Amino acid sequence: MLGAKLSAQNKFEKGYIINNAGNKVEGLIKNMDWSRSPSQIEFQQDTNTPAKSYGIETIKGFEIEGKAKYIKAEVDVDTSSDDINALNDDAKPLFVKQTVFLKTVVEGKYTLYRYANQNVERFFYQKEDKTEPLVFKRYMVSGSHIGKNNTYLKQLEDVSDCGNTTAGSAVEYRENDLKALFIKFNTCGNEEYKSFDEKSNKKLFHLSIRPGVNFSSLEIKNNSPHNVFNADYGSKTNFRIGVEAEFVLPFNNNKWAIIAEPTYQYFKADQEVFTTTILGEKVSNKASVKYSSVEVPVGLRYYAFLNDKSKLFFNASAIFDIPMGDSEIVYNMHYYAEEKFKIESSVNLGLGIGYKYNDRYSIEFNMHTKRDFVKPGQNETAYKNFSIILGYTLF
C-alpha cells in the first residue's frame, strides 16, 4: 500500500507517442524527469489499461504535454570524454553514428536539441531537414593547458537570419545559454516557437526555520587516578533552533536535495559525588558540564511523494559541531585543585525521517550517532541526541 503511494512521485501524465508508422497515439506517459536521454518509456492509453514499455526501436518520439518532448534521430554523437583527467590531444570530435532520443529544448524555425548520457552532454540544431551537432570539445595542449574547439560559435553565427544577432563568445556550451539564444533567433524574426520549461517553474532553493526539542544524554568516563566521576548524566530536554538551506537537485522529479542547517543547541548538567576520607569524614565532590554549540549538518535528502501536497523525506548528514568558547567539563574535588577540560570540535552522523505538507510545514525525527567531544586522555565522552523538529519553509 505504502509502496504504491510512494510511486506517485513519478506520475503518468497526459501526452502522446508517435509509432513507427507515423501515427500519433494519445495517452499517459510516466514522467521520469529525465536528466539523461531515455532509451525507453512507460505508456498507457488510459488509467484502466496496463502500462507498457516502448523502446527507441518501436516509436519515433513522444511528448508529455507542455513539459518534455523527445524525437528519435540518427545523429553523429561526439563520444570524446568530458572528464578533465581523460582529455586527449586531438581537437577533432570523435563522432559515432547513433540512434538516440533527443530532448527538444526549443522548437520552431530554429530548433535546439539536447542529448546526454552518463559520460557526455551534446547539443544539436535543426538545419533544413538534417539534425546537425553543435561542435564543442575540450582537449589537452602541451600536457597541462586545456584547449577548446569552439566550432559551435561559428555554427550559431551562421544559423540566424537576424542581422545583428550573433552567438558571441559569451554563449557557453550549456543548455540555458543555448536555449536563450535559440529563443532570440525565433523572436527576432517573429517566428512562432515552443520551449519546454517544466524546470523553470520549480523552486530549487528553500529556506526554512526549524525549532525543536532535543533529548540529549551524556556519559563520561574519567580515567584520572581520582576517577570518582565515571557517570551517566542522564537525559536532558532542551530547546534547539536551526535555519535550513535546501538546494533541490534539478532532475528525477525533485526527489533529491542537498541540505545544510546551522543549529544552536546546549546541554548543562551537574553531578555531586560524596566520598569518605580515611578519617571518616563525608565530603562532596562536584563535576559540571557546560556545553553549547553550533551544529552544522551537511547532507543529502530524499523525498517520496504521497500525493500532490504530502511527502515523506529521509536525511543523512555529517554533523560538524563547533562548541562555544565557554563549553567545558569542570571537576571540583574536596582535597584537590579544580580540573577543567575544554570541549573540542567534533564530527558525527545524523539520520532523519520526516513529513512535509504543502511544501510549507514539516515535522522531523532526527537521531545522532555518539559524539566524543574531548581530546583523548583522561576523559572519554559519549554524547547522544534525539530531536523532534518542526519546520516552516519561508520560500
Give the residue carrying C-alpha cell 488509467: 47
Instruction: Take residue 246 and report the three cell numbers written for it.
Output: 535546501
In which residue are the cell numbers 571540583 written? 332
Strands 310-323 and 12-19: unpaired
Q: Which 3 state secondary structure label does DSSP give 151? A: helix
The ranges of the chain annotated as CATH 2.40.160 are: 202-393
Phi–psi pair at 150, nearest 5 degrees: -105, 40
pLDDT at 161: 73
Give the Cα separation of 298 and 261 in Å (integer).
7
Which set of grid coordinates corresponds to residue 294? 553550533
Rg of the chain over Cα atoms, rounded to whole angstroms, equals 30
The pairing of beta strand 130-134 with beta strand 137-141: unpaired
Cα distance between residue 239 and residue 184, in whole Å:
54
pLDDT at 224: 65
Q: What are phi and psi of 166, to 5 degrees?
A: -125, 160
Annotate 228-265 with DSSP letters as a single string.
TT-EEEEEEEEEEEEEEEEEE-SSGGG-EEEEE--EEE
| CATH no. of 202-393 | 2.40.160
So what's the pLDDT on residue 164? 56
Nearest alpha-carbon partner for 246 in 346, 345, 364, 347: 364
Angle formed at CA 387 by CA 384 and CA 393, multiple of 5 degrees: 145
Question: Which triple of cell numbers denotes residue 25?
Answer: 497515439
The x, y and z cell numbers of residue 46, run together, are: 488510459
C-alpha to C-alpha distances, 227 to 56, 271, 327, 330, 340, nearest whole angstrom? 72, 13, 21, 13, 14
Mean pLDDT for back-to-back runs of 10 residues, the chain (395 residues)? 46 92 94 89 91 94 92 94 87 95 93 91 88 94 86 88 60 90 86 73 85 94 67 88 93 86 94 74 84 96 88 96 92 76 93 95 97 82 95 95
d(CA 97, CA 184): 30
